[in-house]
Chain A
Amino acid sequence: MCSTCGCGENELTIHAHDHAHDHAHEHPHVHDHAPEARRLTLEQDILAKNAEFAAGNRRLFTERGILVLNLVSSPGSGKTTLLARTVQTLRAEFPVAVIGGDQQTANDAERIRAAGVPAVQINTGKGCHLDAHGIGHALERLPLPEQGLLFIENVGNLVCPADFDLGEACKVVVLSVTEGEDKPLKYPNMFAASGLMLLNKTDLLPHLDFDVARCLDHARRVNPDIRILQLSARTGEGMEAWLDWLRQGQQAALARQISRLEVDLAAARARLTASAA
């Protein structure tokens, strides 16, 4: 059993009990009493358990001053190329690490490691998204990028990952110009859940009929607060604005860590004063 969260190896047990014994469904006598039914009010979020794990992850990230971003997109939007290029620059400035999610293969993690930073791959098997519990376990296999940056590269899927909080500071949705400009309308939940949209592969625009203004308008209809940056991970065009956004986010994570430490410090001082009095 896992000592952190108490999960077993087959974490998801949906069996109420094991079936080593015969079921008593064939009763030797006929019941003449019906079991009493009653109503229970729960009012509990379906994803309450994921939310608990996410809160635990977020607490850890705050304590260690780590900016954590959850990258989401369709398959083939260029997330891994973007990440490889991003970490190559930023690893000289602060610690960087990557957790990648794919149904199969460790190809992406290998590409990130080749770019010079630690990476672990979570294979979700048939699963279509990462969850906060899986991230907690992935963190055990990765040196924590203290006062740095952790990217979580989610499974390529614009539907399911929208619902699962992993403890990140922000979801970043990557959309490439080779996709339809109406993707924000087709997958509104993801664009509504994201704080930043990266429009990638802009070097291909001369060869396409992609209407950038229309695409950005669609994204802002779904989420008026979304920030948008345009870039090409291949040519490097627009990368500097993205890197600056990351540097600012990292500083904000440091500020959160400092606030947290100051609270702890004040509490320790108050205890010392009280015990000396």
Chain B
Amino acid sequence: MHELSLCESIIETLTTQTHRQGYSRVRRVWLEIGALANVEQDALRFAFEIARRDTVADTAELDIVTLPGQAYCLDCAQVIAVHQYYDPCPCCGGFQWRLTGGNEMRIKELEVE
């Protein structure tokens, strides 16, 4: 359940930013979460409802954008799509690929007032 820690970290960021960006409430939060990130999205939504209570985000909606897994296959020398860490390369069937995208956990954008 480190999703609660992640949400506490999100709320901390939103609270810190109130002074820097001059807002008093957060209406909506857009997250970008990679398809291979170590995050259970349902758990993240559940944890966000707990973490947001009595904060600047206490009524904020959460939007999660899933970013696709992308890798570079060293044997094929090309960019491939991957869905899991143990996926074989769709071209050569090998596992000699390096992830280039899909493990992000990012606060993309906010709607504030």
B-binding residues in A (CB < 8 A): 12-16, 19, 35-50, 127-129, 131, 159-160, 162-164, 184-185, 188-189, 191-192, 218, 220-224
Contact = CB atoms under 8 A, between A and B. Distances in A.
Given A13-B12, A49-B12, A50-B9, 16 more contacts: A14-B12, A15-B55, A37-B112, A39-B112, A40-B110, A41-B108, A42-B108, A44-B106, A47-B6, A48-B13, A49-B13, A129-B2, A131-B5, A163-B2, A224-B95, A224-B96
A46 B108 contact: no
Contact of B86 (A15, A44, A218): A218
A160 B2 contact: yes
Interface string B69-104: 000000000000000111010000001110100001
B8 interface: yes
Contacts of A220: 95
Interface residues of B, number: 45
Contacts of A35: 24-25, 113
Nearest to B38: A189
A43 B110 CA distance: 10
- Describe A's contact surface by its main secondary structure: mixed
Contacts of B112: 37-40
A224 B53 CA distance: 43
Nearest to A37: B113
A192 B8 CA distance: 25
B56 to A, nearest CB: 5
Interface string B1-41: 11001101111110101100101110100010000111000
B113 A16 contact: no
A197 to B, nearest CB: 14
B109 A41 contact: yes
Nearest to A191: B85
